[in-house]
Structure 1
Amino acid sequence: MRGEILSYDPLTGDGLISGDDLQRYAFTSTTAGIEPGRRVDFVVEEDRALSLMVLRDGPLPTAVYAPEPDLGLWGYFVRCVTDLYIEGQGRARRKEYWSFALFQFLIMMLAIMPIIGLAIADAETGYDMEAWGVAWICIVVLIYFALFIPYVAVAIRRFHDVGLSGWLILIGLVPYVGGLFVFIVSLLPSQPAVSVYGAPPKGTGQIAI
């Protein structure tokens, strides 16, 4: 379905679309480039517009975009594991990527600590803690995979932010050099201009015609 954005609040992400079917659809999105008057493509589900994509039909006028609000370290992490859990569209600034990486690391460290405690208790007290240890290892594995999905999504958006295809994240699977490549990309500054992946999340930028 396609339509035109009637209203949009960048602070809450809430807006309203007038569809080509003459119906109105509410939506909530942080997709870059959304503004009143924009033509968008979307999916209708229960009278709401989902999976918005801004259409780039014809030459676009030069325009300046305000930066998205700085959510802080914890705010970016929460958004990554909630609203943008599997969202690979759009762009992610360095602060968003490293905010997620920081809390992902801390959560995994906290999850592993009980395993160390159980191992010490097993050795010092003589109690058989193997069953508890195996159960907790299973929990740690579940936590890891639960955080791995949003990590892939934010990494793809980080690649988009520097002007690279998200598919290049697969280079990270190459032993040794892959991890270094992803690390270098994560440190690169954002492209200042609007790209095919959306407006720059940090600072103002102009549409590249």
Structure 2
Amino acid sequence: MVESYLKFWGNYVNFEGKSTRSDYWYLMLSNFLLGLVSVAVTLFLGFLSGWGEGSIVPMIIWLAIIILYIIASIVPSVALSVRRLRDGGFHWALIFISFIPYLGSFALFVLYCMPSKEGAAY
């Protein structure tokens, strides 16, 4: 899982090549676990500050760190999605079906779950 996370940041703007299913889903698991930890830390800092009664500076700093992480991970997430689609043998432009409400996200989920194709031209 750590190796997949390091590959994610190592291929920051690499839109070429392919990404395996395990790399993709281990990264999703890593981000989910980081999200759980960030919620726990945010709640802890909220309880420490008394939810407005004390100093909320640590909570504001922590939330700024979370926002910076989210912004920094946008480009590599798109690159990983493009590489995953290529690995499944699909054209990279299928990433735009995510703009279709409800159905688009589900369709991409299915495409991300597809096995790798050896001779994919994309």
TM range (shorter): 0.7 to 0.9
Evaluate the alpha carbon distance shift between residue 160 and residue 124 of structure 1 in structure 2; reply closer, same or farther with a 3 A threshold.
closer
Separation of aligned partners in 1, 2:49 and 2:9: 35
Percent identical residues: 25
Q: CA deviation at 1:147?
A: 2.3
Structure 1 residue runs of 5 or longer lacking an equivalent are: 1-72, 198-209
Matches within 5 A, 1:4-153: 73-82=1-10, 84-123=11-50, 126-129=53-56, 131-153=57-79
TM-score, structure 1 as length reference: 0.53
Q: Which has the higher contact order (CA 8 A, sep 6+)?
A: 2
Post-superposition Cα deviations, 1:93-136, rounded to whole Å, max 9, x if no partner, equal 2111111111122223223322211222233794232x332222
Separation of aligned partners in 2, 1:126 and 1:113: 20
Evaluate the alpha carbon distance shift between residue 168 and residue 124 of structure 1 in structure 2; reply closer, same or farther with a 3 A threshold.
closer
Separation of aligned partners in 2, 1:80 and 1:135: 25
Select which of 80, 83, 90 maps to 1:154.
Answer: 80
Structure 2 residue runs of 5 or longer lacking an equivalent are: none
Q: CA deviation at 1:186?
A: 1.1
Residue identity in the other structure for 1:166: W
Separation of aligned partners in 2, 1:124 and 1:76: 37
Residue identity in the other structure for 1:185: L
Residue identity in the other structure for 1:81: W
Separation of aligned partners in 1, 2:20 and 2:100: 24
Separation of aligned partners in 2, 1:187 and 1:115: 32
Separation of aligned partners in 1, 2:99 and 2:65: 25
Aligned residues: 122
Separation of aligned partners in 2, 1:153 and 1:125: 40
Residues 18, 84 of structure 2: 8 Å contact kept: yes
Evaluate the alpha carbon distance shift between residue 124 and residue 149 of structure 1 in structure 2; reply closer, same or farther with a 3 A threshold.
closer
Residues 42, 62 of structure 2: 8 Å contact kept: yes
The reply on whether 1:195 has 2:120 as its aligned counterpart is: yes
Q: Between Structure 1 and Structure 2, which shows a larger proportion of strand residues? A: 1
Separation of aligned partners in 2, 1:133 and 1:168: 39
TM-score, structure 2 as length reference: 0.86
